[in-house]
Structures are given as C-alpha cells and as structure tokens.
Amino acid sequence: MPDQVYRAIIPIRPAPPPASRSPARKRGLHVRLVVRVSGGLSAAVRQAAHGEGLTAGAWVRRQLLDRLGMQSDADARSGRPVRMPEAHQAAIAAALRNLAAASASAQSDDPASAIPAIQAARAILVPLALGRPAP
C-alpha cells in the first residue's frame, strides 16, 4: 500500500449569529408599560373597550394617543378581536332578513315594496357601523 499523506483537519468556524434587529425595525410594539389600577377602573376600561370592539390595551393606547395629540398606526391597532355582543349579532341578523325580503321584492312584480325593507336594514346597520348601540 502506498503511503498516503494525511492532512490536518482544519475546523470550520461557525457563522456568526445574525445581527439583532434594532427596536425601530421590529414589527409590532416592543415596549411594555405596566400600570396598576383599581378593580373599578379596570372594569370601566374593559367595558368601554368592549363597547368599541377593542381590547383593553388598544383602547388605553388610543386614549393616550388622543391625550398626547399623537398618531401611530401601530399603537392604535387592536390585538385579538373582541367577540361581538349578542345584541349586535341579533340586529345584524334582522338587517340581513330585511335585505333578503327587499331582494325578493325587487325581483318580483312589486319593486316599490323593497324600499321599506332596505330602509329598515339601513336603520339597523348604520348605528352598528358607527359603533353606536343597536336599536
């Protein structure tokens, strides 16, 4: 067997870790602000936020932005969605029934009877879209 020349194995250096992103490039919110409040204030914030379809954190952030006269899409954005109240769901269902009746009337021989059904649906949907209580 011929003599083989063995070469020393040179270890390969691992790649350096990727540079961490600066806070300005991070997605979402990167600073946490913890504030202690009473149970009553917490309940009031939760109720007001729920009424506007927001999380409590998003509602508080919007209040702070308004108070400070600032604008920030990232801060105004809400987190996980808040469940729609059952009263709103019922009102939307009634509006959809009115629209179905209006559609049937418009396709029949009496399209003029569709107007009251459309107006009834509008009376329900517009307040809900504006964040007001359902009629």
Token code pair at residue 21: 């992103």
d(CA 119, CA 98): 9
pLDDT score recorded for residue 75: 77
d(CA 62, CA 89): 26
pLDDT tens digits, one per residue of 57-70? 888 988 998 899 98
pLDDT tens digits, one per residue of 60-97? 988 998 899 988 877 777 665 556 778 878 888 888 88
| Exposed / middle / buried, residue 87 (Cβ in 10 Å: 0-12, 13-18, 19+) | exposed
Query: What pTM value is reported for the model?
Result: 0.41
pLDDT score recorded for residue 78: 65
